[in-house]
Amino acid sequence: MDSSLLFGITMIAYLLAAVFYLGLLIFRTERLGQIGMLVTLAGVTTQTAALALRWHESYQMGIGHAPLTNMYESLVFFAWCIAGLYLVLEYRFKTRVVGAFVIPFAALAMAYASLSNRIDDQITPLIPALQSNWLIAHVVTCFVGYAAFTVAGGLGVLYLFRAAAEAKQQSKNAASSLPNLQVLDTLTYKNIVFGFLWLSAGIITGAIWANEAWGTYWSWDPKETWSIITWFLYALTLHARFTRGWRGQRIAWLAILGLFAVGFTYFGVNFLLSGLHSYGSV
Predicted confidence (pLDDT) per residue in 78-119, tens digit: 999 999 999 999 999 988 999 999 999 999 999 999 999 888
Whether residue 143 is found in the same domain as residue 269: yes
How many folded domains does the chain comprise?
A: 2
**Does residue 261 share a domain with residue 176?**
yes
Tell me the C-alpha distance between 206 and 280, whole Å: 14
Q: CA 185 to CA 55: how far, in whole Å?
A: 38
User: One-letter amino acid identity for 131?
Assistant: Q
Based on the domain organization, do 12 and 80 belong to the same domain?
yes
Under the banding of pLDDT at 50, 70 and 90, the label for residue 46 is very high
Residue 274: count other Cβ atoms within 10 Å of its Cβ. 11
Contacts of 150 (CB under 8 A, 6+ apart): 82, 102, 105, 259, 262
Q: What is the pLDDT, as a whole number, of residue 275?
A: 66
Q: What is the tens place of the pLDDT at every residue in 199-210?
A: 999 999 999 999
- Three-class DSSP category at 108: helix
Last residue of a domain, one of 126, 144, 167: 126
Segment 137-176, tens digit of pLDDT: 999 999 999 999 999 999 999 999 999 988 876 555 667 7
Q: What is the pLDDT of residue 124?
A: 86
Domain that holds residue 265: 130-281
Residues 225 and 62: their CA atoms lie apart, in Å, by: 35
Question: For the domain that residue 98 is a member of, what is the CATH number?
Answer: 1.20.120
Instruction: Please tell me the pTM assigned to this model.
Output: 0.93
Work out the mean pLDDT of the chain and round it to a whole number.
92
120 confidence band (pLDDT: 50, 70, 90): confident
| Closest listed residue to residue 186, CA positions, set 95, 113, 273 | 95
Q: What is the pLDDT of residue 168?
A: 77
**AA identity, residue 61:** M
37: exposed, middle or buried (Cβ count in 10 Å: 0-12, 13-18, 19+): buried
Q: What is the predicted pLDDT for the residue at 281?
A: 53
